Amino acid sequence: MQDGRTTLSKFLIDTLDRQPSTVSTSGLSALLVDVAASIKTISAALTKGALGGHYGSAHTVNTHGEEQKTLDIVTNDIFVQHCEWDGLLAGMVSEEMDDVYAIPAAYPRGDYLLAFDPLDGSSNIDINGVVGSIFSVLRVNRDAPDAASVDTAFLRAGHEQVAAGYAIYGPATMLVLSVGNGTHGFTLERDVGNFVLTHSDIRIPEDSGEFAINASNERFWEPPVRRYVQECKDGRSGCRARDFNMRWIASMVAEVHRILMRGGVFMYPRDFKTPEMEGRLRLLYEASPMSFLIEQAGGCAITGRERILDVVPERLHQRVPVILGSKNEVVRIRRYHDEYDRGADKPYTSPLFNERSLFLPEAPV
């Protein structure tokens, strides 16, 4: 560009369309421009706040049994309307839709699959807090035996994503994106309507003194997570010999964004509160895309026991435990899980935190 700035369109053309590649990325930049258009439209709607007339409950529940806000539905429709017509998608999956959204017959079908959470952290809406949108793009595997089924086409490990990103609607609206060559941040220039590259090749510090977890669930955590958090809380007088800070914004987008900007760890771990101990967050449109962005920025993302990007989903709306962020902290937490599973953490585990603890409502499986 003449003014030396890189817009999202220029970035995508340079990165995807003008690079020799063994994997076809044809149409991916156009799809991401449509996703970015959804984000701009959502940003404009959110900026109106209570004046936009979209506050409050929609008095419906989504596939997870959660009450839907009016804005959950409005933002879902914005994504669908911006992306269904362009001939690039074979189907869409969203937190707010029970089943795969098939592309209407009026539009051509393409080779990409889009999974999204249109409004992450929607409990923050009514308090004018930070919210976001998360998206993941896969390419249909035409060689798969069941390639004709759009439902099963989505059930692929996160390392197969061809693009992932989120929008954060804070004081500024940003789009943070990876197409597999690092994680890059674009800031919306509202008066012009362009996303401009402002955070190129984001790197997460390997060490950190900040963690994020919903501490009200402490009694449901597994011992390795209790051990890690207790050691952080012990501060400089404990075995970590340093003081830690804690944050909780109730929006995964806001937590991940902070970690990308200055490091830290985010945890929504396996616990005894959630059904079948699967965790709270959804794999396809929350954990997978965020893990892709974190790894592309030099961080790590695990369930506690395995890399999130290697988890193959069995269901569209499957949940998964999530621990992600600064590499050395996540590696430490994985070691704690491993030691616990091998029974090798006894010197560290307080009797209050073991399987027989009165603090656990039921025996772990």
Can you state the angle between helices 252-262 and 288-296, rounded to 10 degrees? 10
**CA 208 from centre of chain:** 20
Query: Measured from the CB atom, is 214 or 328 closer to ligand AFP?
Result: 214
- Whether 149 and 143 have beta carbons less than 8 Å apart is answered as no
Q: Is 135 helix (H, G, I), strand (E, B) or coil?
A: strand
Please, what is the minimum distance in Å from the beta carbon of residue 177 to ligand AFP? Answer: 19
Query: Measured from the CB atom, is 69 or 337 closer to ligand AFP?
Result: 69
> Which residues 217-256 are close enough to bind ligand AFP by CB under 6 A?
250-252
Site string for ligand AFP, 171-210 (x = CB under 6 A): ----------------------------------------
- Pairing mode, strands 67-69 and 57-61: antiparallel
Query: Measured from the CB atom, is 7 or 217 closer to ligand AFP?
Result: 217
Contact window for ligand AFP (CB under 6 A) among 117-125, 137-145, 161-169, 339-347: 117-125
Query: Measured from the CB atom, is 7 or 318 closer to ligand AFP?
Result: 318
Tokens of 221: 């955590």
Degrees to nearest 5, angle at CA 295 with 22 and 164: 65
Please, what is the minimum distance in Å from the beta carbon of residue 36 to ligand AFP? Answer: 20
Residue showing tokens 């923050």: 124
- Whether 130 and 170 have beta carbons less than 8 Å apart is answered as yes
Query: Measured from the CB atom, is 123 or 149 closer to ligand AFP?
Result: 123
Q: Which residue is nearest to ligand AFP (CB)?
A: 252
> Amino acid letter at 228?
Y
Query: Measured from the CB atom, is 105 or 127 closer to ligand AFP?
Result: 127
Name the helix (H) or strand (E) containing 229.
Answer: helix 223-234
Q: Which one among 27, 121, 269, 289 touches ligand AFP, defined by CB under 6 A? A: 121
Tokens of 121: 């952290």
Residue 281 near ligand AFP by CB under 6 A: yes
Please, what is the minimum distance in Å from the beta carbon of residue 65 to ligand AFP? Answer: 11
Q: Which one among 34, 120, 210, 345 touches ligand AFP, defined by CB under 6 A? A: 120
Please, what is the minimum distance in Å from the beta carbon of residue 321 to ligand AFP? Answer: 12
Residue 102 near ligand AFP by CB under 6 A: no
Query: Measured from the CB atom, is 169 or 268 closer to ligand AFP?
Result: 268
Degrees to nearest 5, angle at CA 60 with 56 and 66: 85
Provide CB contacts within 8 A for 63, sequence distance 6+: 95, 97, 98, 317
Query: Measured from the CB atom, is 41 or 214 closer to ligand AFP?
Result: 214
DSSP structural state of residue 66: P
Residue 214 near ligand AFP by CB under 6 A: yes
> Which residues 48-87 are close enough to bind ligand AFP by CB under 6 A?
66
Q: What is the Rg, in whole angstroms, of the alpha carbon atoms belonging to the chain?
A: 21
Number of residues that bind ligand AFP (CB under 6 A): 12
Please, what is the minimum distance in Å from the beta carbon of residue 157 to ligand AFP? Answer: 21
Residue 318 near ligand AFP by CB under 6 A: no
Q: What is the DSSP string of 231-300?
A: HHHHGGGSTT-S--EEE--S-HHHHHHHHHHH--EEEE--BSSSGGG--SEEIIIIIHHHHHHHHHTT-E
Residue 274 near ligand AFP by CB under 6 A: no
First and final C-alpha spacing in the chain: 58
Residue ranges that bind ligand AFP, judged by CB under 6 A: 66, 95, 117, 120-122, 214, 250-252, 268, 281
